[in-house]
Structure 1
Amino acid sequence: MRDFHLPGRSPVLATNGMCATSHPLAARVAIDILDRGGNAMDAAIAGAVLLGICEPQMTGIGGDCFVLWNAPGSNDVQAYNGSGRAPAAASAAALRDQGLDKVPTHGAHSVTIPGAIEAFCTLSSDHGKLGLDTLLAPSIHYAEEGVPIAPRVIDDWARSGPTLQGHAQRHYMPGGTPRVGTAFRAPGQAEVLRRLAANGSRAFYEGEVAEDMVNTLRELGGVHSTSDFAAHQGTPTSPIAGDYNGVELVEHPPNGQGATAILMLNMLKHFDLVSLAPNGAARAHIEAEAAKLAYDARNRIIADPDHTARVDRMLSPELAADLAAMIDPQRVIASAASLTEQVHRDTIYITVVDRDRMSVSLIYSIFHGFGSGIASEKFGILLQNRGAGFTLQEGHPNELAGGKRPMHTIIPGMLRQNGRVIMPFGVMGGGYQPCGHARFVSNLHDFGMDPQSAIDAPRAFAADGKLRVERGYTDTVRRELSDIGHDVVIPDEAIGGAQAISIREDGVLEGGSDPRKDGCALGY
């Protein structure tokens, strides 16, 4: 029970259905879809597409998604890889010949084929009830009528807006940087969504819409072709999982980085976290060191699943034990790796549970704030920069190559206990996500927090030689972390954002939503 003298949020309780996500309009649309007879997949897709209008700096139809779900009456978790590939003509050698040592963060070379739309169309057809036209109707309405821009979105807009270039400035900043409450409209995207509702995913990957994206990219030096778009196909896949003190963490497999969260928890099992203060320096230090080592393993191993065969190594107890033995509770590891992945915070996450206890855990992103900074000329489709997740290191499993999927930061999560799905959840925040998953699970099962409290708890993240420590930690904790060698900084922005729905044995759904975002949990 939270202290009602202090600001905070109570968990949201309901029995029929629930959505938790980062914008209230998307949560409301998801619940409306459930109330109209749709299932959790319908609701998650409808809410996710709308989030691209509510939070265009975070996501949109030019991005990728990963999805976990369980069918009604089943505790078997299924997965869908909705990530796109590099264009066939992409070449790491060509970029190295230009004197580059990494894929540029912005610009045409960072753009991979958007995969989310194909995934939404396929999942709607195979696992939904209401039909794509019904699911896209709310987004078409809001794209035409406009959405008042929320405070957290404005904060991100101001930080990331300067990356917008060319046509993107006209579509996303026609009057300069907007203010809180300014209506954002996307009539071009509304037209694309109408075509999708009528004709399915081919309306996106072939014809005028695809040509608009390809022509824009080619004008900016991209090597993309209409055949790259026409060839795109998502992939049903099998989740990976690991046990943490009696609870099973289920993650999406590579090219997502979910195995990193499992490795972190396998390492943390070697420490008596329960004896430590949940918001103290000792726990924050051990987590920071575990993250450094787990991320080093990630950077060496995770890539397109067609190009790596070592994921079992990341999931092995032996690797976790070897890495945990390297952690000194009183000293800092100077450097575990030079991160090849671009650290960012820009992603949306939505989770829905329906009356039949179908659960969907869906994460959807354009990577960095406003993605590549490129929007297509006619329709204003903002294109992701997932190609910046590749490395140019020759021979690396994650080396950029034509037709290859990059290592992704986005990871949806689910928890099972005694074989029963008990919680879909996600933690946004780019590179932070595996650390966020591990901390969230530990908050729940080591320290007995409810989902909302586990989300609210302060966060720290070690990256690029710094330990970013939120203001929710005390000055004493920051000083103790500095004393043992951490280079402690207080980040300008909050670390990540999380959403979760607990499916209790008594039939009650309990939702939590991160106050670091503008959204909420909503049930009925």
Structure 2
Amino acid sequence: MSDPDLDRFASRRSTTYAPNGLVATSQPLAAEAGVEILRAGGNAFDAAVATAAALNVVEPTSTGLGGDVFALYRTADGEVGAMRSCGGAPADATIENVRESLREADDISSYYPDDGGYAVDDTEEAGMPFYGPHAVTVPGTARGWEATVQELGRLTLADALEPAIGYATEGYPVSEVIASYWQGAEELFTDENAREAYLFDGEAPSVGETARLPKLGESMRRIAEEGADAVYEGEIAEQIADEIQSHGGFMTVEDLAAFEPEFLDPVSTTYNGAEIYELPPNNQGLIALEALNIAEELGAGEHPIDSPERVHYFAEATKRAFHDGHRYITDPEYEEIPPLASKSYAAERAADVDDTASDVSFGVPNANAEDADTVLLTVADDEGNVVSYINSRFAGFGSGLVAGDTGIALQNRGSSFSLDPDHPNSLEPGKRPFHTLIPAVADFGDDDWAAFGVMGGYMQPQGHVQVISNIVDYDMPLQAALDQPRWRYREDGSLAVEGRMDGNVQSKLARMGHDVRVLPPVSFGGAQITRREGETLSGATEPRKDGSASGY
């Protein structure tokens, strides 16, 4: 992040309380859209879809209809469940077909960040493209939204989309963090459709400038009128397939039409008396659960919150969880996943942790996922529903491709595949890639439930661990739990910390053998949380983002 203003962290907020419903997310207008739906008689699930749709418009830098959506929730009748709505690779997307396409391309440098350093002669060594048509997997958002309101909501999909359509067609002022990300994406838009949809006179909007996204608004209007099939079987589907194929990709309307979201059982573990629920593979929820189990085994949360020992033992737990997760987590229809969330496995992994930094590797990383962008929202209502809802195109505006005149920017989640057939996440037709997105729910006991999450690639499970520890081990109020200085173990083996972390703690961590790096606040994720404790609703929002926790 180049904008020095985003390196500041001077905000102070209090936990938000409300009697009837509460929404927490990373952009205030989107939070208000969710509250509007609650006021109109919708429940937490209707509000979640309304908020997510609004984020597609007011935070288009991190989410969109061309991406995926997931949910973890606890319903008013006590059901704890999950929804996964992410598509796989096209039917013709084999390793050899992608390699052949790279060989035939005049220049593949635009497929990789910072020009990638790849010349045409390097195609046999090149990894899975980060941008372009081969990075696009079947988007799950539209059918995921529709399934959410149909199965769990009270209103219609058209009702939930109404606020987002209004923002897209009538316009809204762009907020600070989002403007910075938008400006940083200008160079990605080499495709004319993308430039027309998301740039204004060839430029990204500045802070406070009114942005209108009429093409995206029209697509949402069609979805409201025709249902999600408009994206998967109608004219929008044809434009998605045509856009990808015109750039050498393999997606077809048949790939899109075959997709369906799924409702599934979450995975869980207990941590110091709380039960934490996460998404199972192909998502990285098991990494968060394994890290919590190892940290509990080590007694990491028994150390003072401002001590280097606390950071050290949590970081060592996280190292091992990442190593294991990146070795095993993939689409479970293609590989068997070991019981990484078991307490006995955690005890084995904790056995070699001592008071010095280890050289445990990050595992087999998935390309460029360390700092991916996304949006998260959480909702609680007065009926007893709490939901954590996460929607993303993976990295910023995704692949750089926008489908025809739909305004739908297509995701680059497929870049998490590998072109190495021995890699756990090797590319195969129909296979879903390793997914970083992990909404979560926590049961703190005595009718006390929270929906939460922390955005940001590999920061997500590390953020889950820290937020839960802050609440469970140190009895922090929700907003204080999000404000607390964070750390993150990085792919290169370094331990990044926020500059607000006490200098003595940083020095002691270095003496323990950690390669300590100070990074700006925007590098440490974006958390949201809403809680229903008895009849009391509360929530908090990430102070490092533009958002708010709003209720009524």
Kindly indicate whether the alpha-carbon contact (under 8 Å) linking 2:471 and 2:478 is maintained by their aligned counterparts in 1: yes
Deviates more, 1:44-53 or 1:275-284: 275-284
Deviations 1:219-263 (A, max 9, x none): 111111111111111111111110111100011111111111100
**Candidates 446, 457, 465, aligned match of 2:493:** 465
Kindly indicate whether the alpha-carbon contact (under 8 Å) linking 1:363 and 1:410 is maintained by their aligned counterparts in 2: yes
Superposed displacement of residue 325, structure 1: 1.7
Which residue of the partner structure matches residue 376 of structure 2?
Answer: 349
The one-letter amino acid of 1:13's match is: Y
Superposed displacement of residue 421, structure 1: 5.3
Superposed displacement of residue 218, structure 1: 1.1
Is 1:388 paired with 2:392?
Answer: no
Deviations 1:253-296 (A, max 9, x none): 11111111100000001223344221332222222222221111
Which residue of the partner structure matches residue 284 of structure 1?
Answer: 311
The one-letter amino acid of 1:43's match is: A
Kindly indicate whether the alpha-carbon contact (under 8 Å) linking 1:82 and 1:234 is maintained by their aligned counterparts in 2: yes
**SS of residue matched to 1:461:** strand
Which residue of the partner structure matches residue 519 of structure 2?
Answer: 491
Runs of 4+ in 1 over 4 A off after TM superposition: none
Which residue of the partner structure matches residue 59 of structure 1?
Answer: 63
**SS of residue matched to 2:14:** coil
The one-letter amino acid of 1:25's match is: L
Distance 2:512 2:267 in 1: 35
**Candidates 478, 500, 507, aligned match of 2:529:** 500
Which residue of the partner structure matches residue 182 of structure 2?
Answer: 157
Superposed displacement of residue 101, structure 1: 4.5
Distance 1:76 1:25 in 2: 30
Is 1:475 paired with 2:478?
Answer: no
Distance 1:328 1:159 in 2: 42
Deviations 1:396-415 (A, max 9, x none): 44211111111100100001
Q: Normalising to structure 2: TM-score of the pair?
A: 0.90
Which residue of the partner structure matches residue 543 of structure 2?
Answer: 515
Which residue of the partner structure matches residue 43 of structure 1?
Answer: 47
The one-letter amino acid of 1:82's match is: S
**SS of residue matched to 2:388:** strand
Which residue of the partner structure matches residue 348 of structure 2?
Answer: 322
Kindly indicate whether the alpha-carbon contact (under 8 Å) linking 1:70 and 1:77 is maintained by their aligned counterparts in 2: yes
The aligned runs of 1:188-199 (5 Å cut-off) are 188-199=215-226
Superposed displacement of residue 155, structure 1: 2.1
Deviations 1:37-89 (A, max 9, x none): 111111110010110111111001111011112222x2221111111111111
The aligned runs of 1:188-227 (5 Å cut-off) are 188-227=215-254
Superposed displacement of residue 96, structure 1: 5.0
Is 1:92 paired with 2:95?
Answer: yes
**Candidates 158, 169, 175, aligned match of 2:195:** 169
Cα RMSD (Å) of the superposition? 1.7
Is 1:438 paired with 2:465?
Answer: yes
Deviations 1:348-383 (A, max 9, x none): 011111121111110110101111111112112111
Superposed displacement of residue 441, structure 1: 0.7
Distance 1:517 1:393 in 2: 37
Distance 1:44 1:57 in 2: 19
Kindly indicate whether the alpha-carbon contact (under 8 Å) linking 2:133 and 2:244 is maintained by their aligned counterparts in 1: yes
Which residue of the partner structure matches residue 3 of structure 1?
Answer: none
Is 1:340 paired with 2:366?
Answer: yes
**Candidates 141, 148, 163, aligned match of 1:123:** 148
Distance 1:449 1:439 in 2: 12
**SS of residue matched to 1:344:** coil
Deviates more, 1:25-34 or 1:326-335: 326-335
Kindly indicate whether the alpha-carbon contact (under 8 Å) linking 1:307 and 1:397 is maintained by their aligned counterparts in 2: no
Superposed displacement of residue 199, structure 1: 1.0
Q: Normalising to structure 1: TM-score of the pair?
A: 0.95
**Candidates 61, 77, 80, aligned match of 1:77:** 80
The one-letter amino acid of 1:487's match is: D
Deviations 1:86-130 (A, max 9, x none): 111111234456414521111111100110110111121222112
Which residue of the partner structure matches residue 106 of structure 2?
Answer: none
Superposed displacement of residue 419, structure 1: 7.4
Distance 1:251 1:274 in 2: 20
**Candidates 127, 135, 139, aligned match of 1:110:** 135
Distance 2:14 2:403 in 1: 42
**SS of residue matched to 2:473:** helix
**Candidates 381, 393, 416, aligned match of 2:443:** 416
**SS of residue matched to 2:144:** helix
Kindly indicate whether the alpha-carbon contact (under 8 Å) linking 1:455 and 1:512 is maintained by their aligned counterparts in 2: yes
Superposed displacement of residue 186, structure 1: 1.3
Distance 2:460 2:23 in 1: 20
Distance 2:329 2:90 in 1: 20
Kindly indicate whether the alpha-carbon contact (under 8 Å) linking 1:414 and 1:421 is maintained by their aligned counterparts in 2: no
Which residue of the partner structure matches residue 114 of structure 2?
Answer: none
Superposed displacement of residue 132, structure 1: 1.3
The one-letter amino acid of 1:56's match is: P
**SS of residue matched to 1:494:** helix
> Judging changes above 3 Å, is the alpha-carbon distance between structure 1 residues 439 and 329 closer, same or farther for their aligned structure 2 residues?
same
Superposed displacement of residue 418, structure 1: 3.7
**Candidates 229, 252, 255, aligned match of 2:279:** 252
**SS of residue matched to 2:269:** strand
Kindly indicate whether the alpha-carbon contact (under 8 Å) linking 1:53 and 1:147 is maintained by their aligned counterparts in 2: no
Distance 2:447 2:355 in 1: 35
Distance 2:412 2:248 in 1: 14
Aligned residues: 516
> Judging changes above 3 Å, is the alpha-carbon distance between structure 1 residues 28 and 283 closer, same or farther for their aligned structure 2 residues?
same
Deviations 1:410-447 (A, max 9, x none): 10000113474510111111111111111111111111
> Judging changes above 3 Å, is the alpha-carbon distance between structure 1 residues 162 and 491 closer, same or farther for their aligned structure 2 residues?
farther
**SS of residue matched to 2:319:** helix
> Judging changes above 3 Å, is the alpha-carbon distance between structure 1 residues 274 and 28 closer, same or farther for their aligned structure 2 residues?
same
The one-letter amino acid of 1:503's match is: R
Unmatched segments (≥5 aa) in structure 2: 1-9, 101-122
Kindly indicate whether the alpha-carbon contact (under 8 Å) linking 1:345 and 1:496 is maintained by their aligned counterparts in 2: no
Kindly indicate whether the alpha-carbon contact (under 8 Å) linking 1:332 and 1:484 is maintained by their aligned counterparts in 2: no
Kindly indicate whether the alpha-carbon contact (under 8 Å) linking 1:210 and 1:226 is maintained by their aligned counterparts in 2: yes
Superposed displacement of residue 212, structure 1: 1.2
Kindly indicate whether the alpha-carbon contact (under 8 Å) linking 2:169 and 2:212 is maintained by their aligned counterparts in 1: yes
Distance 1:273 1:395 in 2: 36
Superposed displacement of residue 474, structure 1: 2.0
Which residue of the partner structure matches residue 294 of structure 2?
Answer: 267
Superposed displacement of residue 338, structure 1: 4.3
Distance 2:400 2:11 in 1: 37
Kindly indicate whether the alpha-carbon contact (under 8 Å) linking 2:24 and 2:550 is maintained by their aligned counterparts in 1: yes
